[in-house]
């Protein structure tokens, strides 16, 4: 059986951290690539961490390659500063990354 390479957006939040734990325990997944906005302190043989600037997603196009994409990326209006900034995180960044992954 083919081993699966998972890509995860937003692995540092509560949902993302739990998802990472599940994928690390699952023997079907051989690689887990994390795309995060802030540093993450995790060390595991399956994990590769990419700290990226979501405002410049096109620069990371070649990294958006795997078998399955999970997104736990999200924010609040208060944390983002405005509805427009919240929309960027909650929709635009995820949509653009998914497009890149699909094309790859």
pLDDT band at 33 (very low <50, low <70, confident <90, very high): very high
**What is the Cα 90 distance to its own chain's centre?**
12
- Paired strand residues for 67: none
pLDDT band at 41 (very low <50, low <70, confident <90, very high): confident
Tell me the pTM.
0.90
In this predicted structure, the answer to whether residue 102 has a pLDDT above a threshold of 80 is: yes
If 0-12 CB within 10 Å is exposed, 13-18 middle and 19+ buried, where does residue 9 land? buried
In this predicted structure, the answer to whether residue 2 has a pLDDT above a threshold of 90 is: no
pLDDT band at 61 (very low <50, low <70, confident <90, very high): very high
Measured between alpha carbons, how far apart are the two ends of the chain, in Å? 22
In this predicted structure, the answer to whether residue 1 has a pLDDT above a threshold of 80 is: no
In this predicted structure, the answer to whether residue 11 has a pLDDT above a threshold of 80 is: yes
- Paired strand residues for 69: 7
């Amino acid at each position: 059986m083919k081993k699966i390479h998972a890509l995860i957006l937003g692995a540092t939040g509560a949902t993302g951290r739990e998802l990472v734990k599940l994928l690390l325990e699952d023997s079907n997944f051989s690689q887990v690539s994390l795309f995060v906005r802030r540093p993450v302190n995790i060390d595991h043989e399956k994990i590769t961490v990419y700290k990226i600037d979501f405002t410049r997603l096109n620069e990371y196009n070649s990294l958006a390659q795997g078998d399955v994409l999970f997104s736990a990326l999200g924010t609040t209006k208060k944390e983002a500063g405005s509805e427009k900034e919240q929309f960027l995180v909650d929709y635009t960044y995820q949509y653009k990354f998914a497009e890149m992954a699909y094309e790859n």
